[in-house]
Structure 1
Amino acid sequence: MNSLLNQIKFIGPYELILPKTTERFHLSALKTSDIPQITSLLESTNVNSIDIHKSTISLPNPYTLSDAKWFVNKSIEEYRTTSRCNIWAIRNSSNDEYIGCIGLHSFKGKYLFEDERDKALLDEGYGIGYYISLKYRNLGIVSSSVKFVCDEIAFKELRLDYVFAYVFTDNVKSQNLLKKCDFKLIKLLPNALEKSGELRDMYLFIKERGGDDDDENN
């Protein structure tokens, strides 16, 4: 894996700029040794997982070791086939601890609305998603990660015209985070997604190239 990573773009480590703390955090590619830490963070016995699962779109719940293995192995395979990293672990630099995740994802063909112009728009772009342990909230870690991934990877390196994000309407902290990172609210998506047996409303946010700290999940 180490020799393979040397051939892959955007693997990091990318140190995050955090004015709220002297602790150091960074982004880097996922690795198989993350599997136990991911399972520990997201399994139902961890109180941190409750809010994460409530606020994210696609994480399995309950979350198991098999889910973590599938996620990490799938990500590593995508690194290999694309020669590019687009999913990063958020890490505590002091011990390389996995404390969250951020990624750029294609939603082509996976729509939460019917408008054909919006479908075409999303087919040509990438969505951003993220979560972080409750223990590390309110330090500016996620906002720094979002800004870096958008400005340095999506816009500067990949030359994307925009990045979009879906967020539940009751997830006010994530909405505020996106606004601080220069995302603009585009539209309300009523009954966009069924989660835990109920239909939930979502907002669509978009950040355009050329635009330029609360932490939450998306």
Structure 2
Amino acid sequence: MQALRTARLVLDTPRETDIPAVFAACSDPEILRWIPLPEPYTRESAEFFVRSYVPHGLASGRFTVWGIRESETSPLIGVVEVRRDDAPGAASLGCWLTPAARRGGVMTEALTAVCAHALDPEGLGFERLHWEYLPGNEVSRRLAEAVGFDFSGVEPHTIDFRGEQRQSLRGELSRDGLRG
């Protein structure tokens, strides 16, 4: 997997030393409120994510997960995932940040880099990306719109969220819509 760099971030593969940070972040009530992670999120969940989920995605080509850091040696402060959709040329994104890293523009910067790489024919080569969020999570929508995702004309659809049927909204970003 190609590491990505921005003005102030390094995005690379989550590693064994990130397990405590993954566990702490994914135990955060705000993350659990909006992201369909196992609940309760256990240390074993974090170990599985780093040791099995991330390597399986890379090996299968189905998804790519980047850990967000301030430098190569800094602790993990977040994650961005690009997951290949069933539709040809399309992928969906997911992400989270630790509470301490929120509201500083970190995720906008990380997503801009990941989306540019995902849409680049020399990168992951997708033609379009999708962003899905649950109504009420306006932070997620504003973040996606800051990168260039378009939610106009979107109709809610039903998804299963931890065994509960919930409405979600989906935006799209194409190569010519990327901002930043």
Report the TM-score, using the length of structure 1 for normalisation: 0.72
User: SS of 1:86's equivalent?
Assistant: strand
Residue 25 of structure 1: which of 3, 6, 9 is its match? 9
Q: Distance in 1 between matches of 2:146 and 2:25?
A: 27
Residue 152 of structure 1 aligns to a residue whose secondary structure is helix
Determine helix, strand or coil for the equivalent of 1:139. Answer: coil
Gaps of 5+ in 2: none
Identity of aligned residues (%): 21
Structure 2 residue corresponding to 1:187, chosen from 124, 137, 154: 154
Q: Deviations over 1:179-218 (max 9, x none)?
A: 111111151224x234366432211100011222xxxxxx
How many angstroms does 1:163 deviate by?
0.5
**Corresponding residue for residue 49 of structure 2:** 71
Aligned equivalents of 2:163, 2:81: Cα separation in 1: 26
Of the candidates 6, 9, 15, which is equivalent to residue 16 of structure 1? 6
Classify 1:81/1:198 alpha carbon distance in 2 versus 1 (closer, same or farther; 3 Å). closer
TM-aligned CA deviation for residue 158 of structure 1: 2.2
1:102 aligns with 2:68: no
Asked whether the equivalents of residues 25 and 99 of structure 2 are also in contact (C-alpha less than 8 Å), the reply is no
Structure 1 residue runs without a partner (length 5+): 1-8, 18-23, 44-48, 109-121, 213-218
Checking the alignment, whether the CA contact within 8 Å between 1:102 and 1:128 is kept in structure 2 is yes
Work out whether 1:38 is the aligned partner of 2:22.
Answer: yes
- TM-score under structure 2 normalisation? 0.85
How far apart are 1:162 and its partner, in Å?
A: 0.4
Structure 1 pair 123/51, CA: closer, same or farther in 2 (3 Å)? farther
Secondary structure of 1:210's aligned partner: helix
1:46 corresponds in structure 2 to: none
Q: What is the root-mean-square deviation in Å for CA atoms of aligned residues?
A: 2.2
**Whole-Å separation in 1 of the counterparts to 2:48 and 2:76:** 17
Aligned residue pairs, count: 175
Runs of 4+ that moved beyond 6 A: none
Taking the aligned partners of 2:31 and 2:91, their CA distance within structure 1 comes to 21
- Measure, in 2, the Cα distance between the counterparts of 1:169 and 1:123: 27
SS at match of 1:53: helix
1:81–1:162 CA distance, 2 compared to 1 (3 A): closer
* Contact kept in structure 2, 1:188 and 1:201, CA below 8 Å: no
Which amino acid in structure 1 is aligned with residue 21 of structure 2? Q
Instruction: State the 1:62 CA deviation.
Output: 0.7
- Decide whether the 8 Å contact of 1:29 with 1:89 is kept in 2: yes
